[in-house]
Amino acid sequence: VRIGLVGCGKVALEHHLPSLRRLPAAEVVAVADHDADRRNDMARRFAVAGRYETADQLLADPDIEAVGVLTPTAGHFEIGMAALRAGKHVFIEKPLALSAAECEQLVRAGRDSSLKTMVCFNLRWHRSIVEARGILASGRLGSIIAVRSVYTHNRDGSDAPDWHRLLARGGGVTFNEGVHHLDLWRYLLGQEIEQVFAIHNPSPVYEDAVSVLTARLSGGVLATAINAFSTGPASELEIFGSGGRLLINLYRFDGVRFYAGNEYPGQIAVRLREISGALMRVPVALATSARRGLFGETFHRAWQGFLDSITEDSMSPCTFDDGRRAVLAALAAVRSLQTGAAVVVKEDGQEATYRP
């Protein structure tokens, strides 16, 4: 599949191009970016022949079959819609778009065409998420009652662009970062996010630097999330059920731990089981590290899923509607930050405040 990429920023350079280079079914034939230095540097590094200043120029290239939209979120809607009109399959980085209306138009445009569309929630392909889905499907956790997320970074923001710092541009930790774990709640539990309450603190750099969310999901599951820019890095989920709890750490090669309802994590038998399990995973961890690590692997698998949907004419593994629903929940959280009230996540994208 001949691919053109719009946006030559950090995520394209560090994750998407290295992943696509390893995929036999992909050929990146062109890149586009208004910054000539970024555009030419990426093209040289990855031996890409086509170099365009604008997305429209790239979309006019008849040799391109699929487009990756890797720009800041504000550009996703316009470029995504133009790509569909140009007859290209479309892969868009998360979040799908800035507003509910833009997301809905992208979803409808994709459904009304025969083209394949996908949003890049790459964490769905993380090895630990795949393993956790298997445990959940087995029923070992029993009835799910709650989920906890922590998603934090070590970023001082000294070089952060406006689109990463300002809420109106799609920035802030709740919307731009937190949307990852909102999607994982849906993906792992198969439930929609119905109501959100959020509080936050700004920093001298970020309008939304640290936030705490609580939510209720459609099956009655209660959820909480901590998101922060300027602390130590963490990406964890813990799922609580009537039969035990499941701890998922996306930054560890032995990142999945199940504790039955009658087990304590400090028990000798439990600790020996964890040590044995970690040692058994070392060979796989070393091999994965040589292939850009657990996180790099997620982008490789995400692109493979998108390419498979094109070559096999199958359903996208992460649809624009998946992207829309995660954005609706993230927008409700931002609305809650701004109003100080709980917000009901409405299907039509119209946020409604709710005070008990």
Q: Quick check: 291 pLDDT over 70?
A: no
Tell me: pLDDT of 290 over 80.
no
Preceding amide of 317 cis, omega within 30: no
| pLDDT per residue as tens digits for the range 296-349 | 899 999 999 999 999 999 999 999 999 999 999 999 999 999 999 999 998 766
Question: Interior CA angle at 61 toward 59 and 67, to 5°?
Answer: 45
Superfamily of domain 2-122: NAD(P)-binding Rossmann-like Domain (3.40.50.720)
Per residue, what are the HEC states of 236-297?
EEEEEECCEEEEEECCCCCCEEEEECCCCCCCHHHHHHHHHHHHHHHHHHHHHHHCCHHHHH
Domain with CATH 3.40.50.720 in the chain: 2-122
Q: Please give the share of the chain, as a percent, with pLDDT higher than 90.
A: 87
Contact by Cβ (8 Å): 280, 102: no
For the residues 49-73, what does the mean pLDDT come to? 98
Q: What pLDDT score does 289 carry? A: 66
Inform me whether the pLDDT recorded for 350 exceeds 70. Answer: no
Give the pair of three-digit tokens for residue 227.
Answer: 């998101």
Q: Is 111 helix (H, G, I), strand (E, B) or coil?
A: helix
Is the Cα dihedral 223, 163, 295, 254 positive or negative?
negative
The mean pLDDT of 23-33, rounded to a whole number, is 98
Average pLDDT of the segment spanning 193-222: 97
pLDDT digits (tens, 9 = 90+) for 63-114: 999 999 999 999 999 999 999 999 999 999 999 999 999 999 999 999 999 9
The per-residue pLDDT for 3 is: 98
* Residue limits of CATH 3.30.360.10 in the chain: 124-303+327-337
What is the per-residue pLDDT for 142? 97
- Average confidence score pLDDT of the chain: 94
CATH architecture of the domain 124-303+327-337 equals 2-Layer Sandwich (3.30)
Count the neighbouring beta carbons within 10 Å of the beta carbon of residue 316: 21
Q: How far apart are CA 343 and CA 356, in angstroms?
A: 11
